Chains A and B, each alone.
Chain A
């Protein structure tokens, strides 16, 4: 699961980190769209090579390489699978291209997730007119996930200490043994939710439509620059894809 590392926020200070999350969202979407427009190896390689410096600018190259290493087994598997099932004239070349595209897609989105703090994402959604309650529910979920995890372990310990054997017995028995874990977990979560609600209500949550925000996201020149450049890149690539005949060397395939 270490490949998920590339979608985890890292607390760092880089050029990319300092951009407005909305600009980064747009950039990531454009990068992903561009990756999706091609199915030939060379163009995808070019796109890939352009992505790497962006990851580097986000000071996350090491993390990204680690993730890619963790992913390599899966990638090889995908390549083999696609080669065997492909109906294209050059199956191997095709599957290499597909794998490259997958990596490019992942990297495009990882730029966003690596550099956007969950709170920033929440604020971005709010400023993009998502209802406050939904955005907040999302960040609260992230806030309490580790707590819930700990609670689950504590419950397992408590039941094991009463003689509940979680890892023995027939499949049916093991499924039934989930009940003593799930029921307390649900109850404890409900109790916790009520307690949290009391605290939130006591601090005025949900009272006013005119809620203010201390950290407001403001687009700066560099954010506009990123958006405009991304837009141009998108337009350019779409144009090339639709109207320009790609030179033969770009359509090179791996010789069979």
Chain B
């Protein structure tokens, strides 16, 4: 009784359901792997600056009344760092007291906290958006309103090619060619939040331009023509007619690009420094969630792994919410 029509329809339905299944699996698996860390640290994980910190939690020898905390900070570092960088001059580190160390066995624990990567992710994304939004708007307006007819296609294709370049290429180019220039202009370190944020911005620029341009193009020509007929300048038309009409789509494209930037790994990995330190200024190196994952997943032990999954879960949920917002509230397609 299985007709071809029925089988075909079933297969189509199952394929669509598979997508739902994959998405649910990702959520569930991330959560399961993150659970040990979640149970151990709770919400405090998100605000804890330590990473791979060994702490003494119990003292076995009751005669020694001094409690020492020896801190070993394992710095994951994949980059050549400038020689004037002194990694160990850190105001956040409590002093190391090498005397009076307890000789008998103490129970230690390794503590992980996600505050630094979270801050790094947010800051680098913020820098990227700060840089990319005005440029994208300008480019989109150019493509949609200003460019003479024969340039629209080639420049549009050029922007789309820019979007097609693999992110690792941005990372390489950024590290060796863009970062030195950033340093010349802003000082500080070449490998920094600023460099990472700017290169991330360049990466996100074509994507945002393309979606914004599509929104701008959707403005009916009649509206624009009526305004021209009244003697408005091009800028006024864009400001008073096109942008308000396309407002929802523009906001959507910005939020969507933000969602993408949050999860970007390769462009940032080369440039952010992979240093577990809260930055004092934007030109300091730091680290972001995707970069932590990229650097540590390979050799992580179970303890660290669970914390990495905790971070993955946080990133995934956060990106999902932001991208979902962009989709649901701003970029509804007419069906």
Q: Are A and B associated in one complex?
A: no
